[in-house]
Amino acid sequence: MTDLALQQPIESAAAHTLLEQYSSGDFFFNSPTRAMLASDWRISRSIQGSDAEQTLQALFKEGADGELDAPIVVGVLPFADDRPGCLMLPNKVRSMAPIGEWAAREPEPSLDLQAIAATPIPDYQGYCTNVATALEEFRSGRLSKLVLARTLKVKTRDSVPIAPVLQRLMKRNPDAYVFASPTTPEGGSVFLGASPELIVRRTGRHISVNPLAGSTARRADAKEDQAAAAELLRSPKDLYEHSFVVEDIVRLLTPLCRELHVPEGPELLSTNKLWHLSTRIEGELADPATTSLAVARALHPTPAVCGVPTQDAFAAIRRWEGFERELFSGMVGWCDANGDGEWALSLRCAQASANELVLYAGAGTVEGSDPDAEFAETGTKLGTMLAAFGLDERLGQLHHSTSLPSEKES
């Protein structure tokens, strides 16, 4: 059952209903173009990233054989191809115009979630050592850019109610790709977040790709905030980092497209926590059979989440980070039987299960990066999800494992 009233103005009751209908085993996706709630899985498969396109086509075939009207496949795919993701074919899909602006006008739901312990992995010293090691690799010429990530494991007193967290994410990030998805066919845990970055949107032959790289924290004072944004737009280090991403994406898109339009330089994109350098690339696919997922897979992992050269950066991430990224810096989205769809990078995200949250954040490291600044940047990014859960954003800057008998004391 599909409702595609995407051009209709959103009424408060309809938006509320969409969130009220959400349950922890469902798939939710709100982008600048639509809101979607998918449920009642006809087929749900755990897959490795390398099997994604083959599985997509198999799901569409099974949907057609079962006379499913206008099948849509939704899901999450991992950063590394040898880790599991999940693609799902729902019996029920409800779609409407995006509800981010509605959420921005609504009162923010309150949450009474209390953290009782928090553990950064790697800790401050370990993360700074990783950045310092990367700087040595840059000087030797073995790497040009490396994205280094860390996690924050938070134990909570009670389990997390997902629907109000989604509304809080949209209120604070109305233009983001806000999502929630089961991580396995069996359910159990929910992967959710508010990504600022579009991998690809495909409508017919037309594609849009919007890489981000280079960022700085927002400031509370309006004049200082604008000054920080202007400084980012002329920062040699951040422009250098951004150029790697754009050049690599253009290289990968060129054989797929008969036309490609690339701006001369980046512009600014803002979230409630950060300013980002952003380049919106538009193209026309050479082959109309190339699906949105196929384009996303061709680009992944970009230097925005991995590094340059890609294979060497990927190997360094696996050696140094000290944890598996799993779905973090993979992709989340949907694709229909025509190949149209949207896929966002799974950033500003967390995995919620029972009484534990695992939050993820990374920062692009290039020649001239400072270990302390990179740690602070990842802490700012962790703040997006901490705030959405109603937790103290200062937890993102923790240097080591800490017990928290009460958040007021932390």
Give the pLDDT confidence score for residue 11 in this predicted structure. Answer: 66
145, 171, 273, 381: the active-site residue: 145
pLDDT digits (tens), the chain, 410 positions: 344 444 455 667 888 889 999 998 999 999 999 999 999 999 999 998 889 999 999 999 988 877 788 899 999 999 999 999 999 999 999 999 999 999 999 999 999 899 999 999 999 999 999 999 999 999 999 999 999 999 999 999 998 899 999 999 999 999 999 999 999 888 789 999 999 999 999 999 999 999 998 889 899 999 999 999 999 999 998 998 899 889 999 999 999 999 999 999 999 998 888 899 999 999 999 999 999 999 999 999 988 899 999 999 999 999 999 999 999 999 999 999 999 999 999 999 999 998 999 999 999 999 989 999 999 999 999 999 999 999 999 999 999 988 886 544 44
Determine whether 197 is an active site residue.
yes
Give the pLDDT confidence score for residue 306 in this predicted structure. Answer: 95
- Phi and psi at residue 213, in whole multiples of 5°? -165, 135
- Reported pTM: 0.92
Q: Where are the alpha helices (DSSP H) in 69-198?
A: 100-105, 124-140, 162-172
Q: Is 1 helix (H, G, I), strand (E, B) or coil?
A: coil
Contact 214, 241 (CB under 8 A): yes
197, 241, 326, 342: the active-site residue: 197
Half-sphere exposure of 312 (CA within 13 A, CB side): 11
How many whole angstroms separate alpha carbon 121 and alpha carbon 375? 12
* 322 Cβ contact list (under 8 Å, min separation 6): 121, 122, 126
Strand (E) or helix (H) holding 69: none
How many whole angstroms separate alpha carbon 354 and alpha carbon 344? 26
Determine whether 374 is an active site residue.
no
